[in-house]
Amino acid sequence: MSTMKEYVLDFLKREAAGIAEIFGSSCETLIHDMSLPGFPVIAIYNGHISGRQTGSVTDIYGGTTASKTLANAPSAARDFVNTMVLTRDQRQIKSSTFNFIGEGYHYALGINFDYTALNNALYTLGGLTAAGDTLVHKMTEESTHQLDEIFRECMDLTGIPAESMKKADRLRLIVLLDQRHAFDFQKCVTYISEKLHVSRYTIYNYYHELEDQHLVSGAIKK
């Protein structure tokens, strides 16, 4: 008949093996005998993660520092859940330890998940999914830049500052702007009205007045 110690160890081995199988080759599971010096490994699955095998007394870092620290600590039976480990070869591990203590035994189930590859993949995906400004905004910026150039060119041709313009000067400017397709741009009327310090309504009136005289193309965007 199995003792409780044997039953617990058998259960822990089956649990460790099942967890390692579920999470695959990036997940190391192992059982330490915490009642023995150095806390030797008595069962391990996917041991390539830490390079340990049955009988090993090294810790997840590849040394014995953590084991010695734990052995001298009053919290040797404390569980550690989802802690981060950075190994000597710069691999990133999520590590958890669960203690099982009973009469005549003290085992610890360790679960170490190596997520280094996932982190690298996330970094790569971040680069692949990173994008700059929106296309609409870039296109709007480009349109505004083109409209700026057209407006400056036409203003230079009139030779009159906006604040000094009379109605006739503004009408001539609108003809020049229309010839250079300024009114093909979205929100061109708002842009021009702000530059000339008049209302949008005034620009529309000017344009339609010139349209009646067949001096503009009749293509105007709102």
Q: What is the pTM of this model?
A: 0.58
Q: Please state the rounded mean pLDDT for residues 166-182.
A: 89
Residue 144 predicted with pLDDT over 70: yes
Cα separation, 95 vs 75, in Å, equals 17
Residue 67 predicted with pLDDT over 60: no
Q: Where in the chain is the domain with CATH 3.30.450.20?
A: 4-115
* CB burial of residue 69 (10 Å; 0-12, 13-18, 19+): exposed
pLDDT computed for residue 46 by the predictor: 97
pLDDT computed for residue 62 by the predictor: 79
pLDDT computed for residue 217 by the predictor: 82
Q: Please state the rounded mean pLDDT for residues 119-128.
A: 82
104 in Cβ contact with 8 (< 8 Å): no
210 in Cβ contact with 202 (< 8 Å): no
Could you tell me which CATH number the domain at 4-115 has? 3.30.450.20
Rg (C-alpha) for the chain, rounded Å, is 38
- The answer to whether the Cα torsion of 86, 89, 92, 97 is positive or negative is negative
